[in-house]
Amino acid sequence: MLKTKTKIILFSILGLAAAPFAASAGTSPASVSNTTTVTANITATISISPSTTPITLSLAPTSSAVESATSGTYTVITNDTSGYTLSIVDADTNNALVSSSPSASFAAGGGTLFSAPALLTPNTWGFHLDTMGGSPGTGATESSVATPTTIKYDQVPTSTTGPMTILTGAENAPSGTATVVWYGAQANSTQVSSTSGYVDVITLTATGS
């Protein structure tokens, strides 16, 4: 009986010792999963440089009209995949060049549609792009050149008329797209001299599409 009892006790001890190993082998750690979605929203941006552009035209008129022209370059940068438009408009309701000393004006001339520019006539001014319709000619720097000239111009629309679109462009970041706008004026000796200069302010605006 002692042996039997010993055997029973021995088997009981072995059974207790073996139990934890059996439980451990049959159990996995608990786990739970999470799905995270990362979204980056990129805002469409647009810029135009320079922010201001001074344009100076010098004319020495004679009895026959002379013409002067110079250009401004405007660079637009946008990451908008829909592209952009570039427009031009006068800052107010008067698109003439106005002198304050003496009081005098220099009328807007040329055409009124981007698709149909026209030659300037004496004592008028306008703007030109080589991409205008109607065989506009190629813009060039001029200084009191005897007319007639083959370069055609448009009037800058007044604020009442509203902006004229002069370019439709595509997304172009980061390099941007440069647009050259020419400004020209024609004068004869009937246009009085001015100590203040004949001045007008226009606005070019780049708008994302």
Which residues are registered as beta bridge partners of 46? 78
pLDDT of residue 64: 87
Q: Which residue has the higher pLDDT, 14 or 106?
A: 106
What's the token pair of residue 21? 């190993």
- Residue owning tokens 């002067």: 68
pLDDT of residue 26: 67
CA–CA separation, 89 vs 164, rounded Å? Answer: 6
Task: Transcribe 103-167 into DSSP letters.
Answer: EEEEEE-SBSBTTB-B---TTEEEEE-TT-SS-------EEEEESP-S--BBPPPPTTT--EEEE
pLDDT of residue 95: 98
What's the token pair of residue 146? 């005897």
pLDDT of residue 14: 42
The CATH architecture assigned to 46-208 reads Sandwich (2.60)
What's the token pair of residue 62? 């004679």
pLDDT of residue 28: 85
pLDDT for 4 beyond 50: no
Q: What is the DSSP-derived secondary structure letter of residue 8?
A: H
Q: How confident is the model at residue 25 (pLDDT cuts 50, 70, 90)?
A: low
Task: Tell me which residue of 142, 145, 147, 96 sits closest to 121, measured CA to CA.
Answer: 147
pLDDT for 5 beyond 80: no
Asked which of 16-30, 105-119, 147-161, 188-202 is least confident by mean pLDDT, the reply is: 16-30
Which residues are registered as beta bridge partners of 84? 169, 208
CA–CA separation, 72 vs 141, rounded Å? Answer: 11
- Angle (CA) 120-156-64 rounded to 5° is 20
The answer to whether the CB of 208 falls within 8 A of the CB of 81 is no
pLDDT for 112 beyond 90: yes
Report pLDDT digits (tens) over 150-209: 999 999 999 999 999 999 999 999 999 999 999 999 999 999 999 999 999 999 999 999
pLDDT of residue 108: 98
